[in-house]
Amino acid sequence: MTRTLPLIAVIPLVLAACTQPTPQSRGAHLYETNCASCHGKSAQGDGPLAKQYGMRPANLTLLSQKNGGVFPAEGVMAQINGYPGRHDFGGMPEFERELSGPTVPYTTTTGQVIDTKQAMIDIAAYLETVQQ
Ligand code: HEC
């Protein structure tokens, strides 16, 4: 009996840890809703809208490979945000307004602190997990 008690006490803690959303799990949901239609469930640029699009959506699992093995988190966020604004040419749409929710301070690789939508940080965190 004395042995089972601590286990019972630990179970709720483990369950809480499992159900607590991580940036990656929140990002996965945001990706599914906003990006998968073009970039595909697997993020390889093969979503159902990809064919009717003039421009092939990028394979988002190769972002690190194309950046010398380093995941370009800030580049991804800039792209989602609409910078450099290529959407006029039929490329990536801008998501700045679609992604609602709070803004948090984000420290860039150069040490700058920029107020950034938590949703963008989450999507970037998710995409980092699907790199090849
Ligand atoms: C309507 C279709 C469409 C949707 C929806 C879409 N994209 Fe894109 N995306 C594109 C196209 C087309 C390109 C390639 C052309 C370009 O770079 O503008 C692209 C390019 C990108 C790039 C640049 C990749 C590189 O190699 O530099 C990133 C990063 C990206 N998308 C992320 C996202 C994320 C994250 C979402 C969801 C928030 C999203 N996209 C939603 C069509 C889409």
- 63 CA: nearest ligand 1 atom: 26
Write b or e for each residue in 50-68: b if 16 or more Cβ atoms lie within 10 A of its Cβ, otherwise e: beeeeeebbbbbebbeeee
CA separation, residue 37 to residues 13, 15, 46, 111 (Å): 36, 32, 8, 34
C-alpha to C-alpha distance for 126 and 132, rounded to whole angstroms: 13
pLDDT by position in tens, the chain (length 132): 556 666 677 776 666 666 789 999 999 999 999 999 999 999 999 999 888 877 788 999 999 999 999 999 998 988 887 665 444 444 567 776 678 789 999 999 899 999 998 999 999 999 999 999
- List, chain by chain if needed, residues with CB within 6 Å of any ligand 1 atom: 34-35, 37-39, 49, 53, 55, 57-58, 60, 76, 79-80, 86, 91-93, 95, 123
